[in-house]
Amino acid sequence: REDVYIGKKSITRPIRSVYKGNFVDVTFATGGAGVCVSSALARKMEPWCLAGKLAETADDLRLPDDCTLGFVIINKLGGNLTTSPLFHSHLEGLNNVKMASLRKQVSLSFSTKNVININHGNSKNQVFNATIDPTRFMSLHCFLFETAEFCE
């Protein structure tokens, strides 16, 4: 019922752009880590985001979709970004995410050489080698859901 926008910034300062002839500073949560937007806030975003309008707004803003979401929420609707350290994009050192905290994370991303570190298995957890599981998501799945059929 409340306006909620949660995510993690990929950069510490706003990005400056031009929107319909005016300079604007845009603060946003990186889409690569994922974001959470409440349904109440999403309904308010409709004039700029519904039925193809997100692409139009992004073109007018000259920035990607995640920046555009932040622009609509903060600049147009007066909302705020609640930052959370539980969102992770490929732009940060994912090997620094501790195994003991994996169950608490909201999102995890990856790039070819930037993956979470799952380095041990036991009788309940299957850890696949990096050739079979280069993203480490199969191993993460087995860590989180140890009774999954392919984990045994």
Q: Which residues are catalytic?
A: 66
Using DSSP's 3-state secondary structure scheme, residue 81 falls into: coil
Spatial contact of 142 and 125, defined as CB atoms under 8 Å apart: yes
Give strand ranges (E) for the chain.
5-7, 15-19, 22-26, 36-37, 82-83
In this structure, the dihedral spanned by the alpha carbons of residues 107, 71, 78 and 7, taken in order and rounded to 10 degrees, is 10
Are 86 and 101 within 8 A, CB to CB? no
Structure tokens given for 11:
């950069």
Which residues neighbour 55 within 8 Å (Cβ) at sequence distance 6 or greater? none
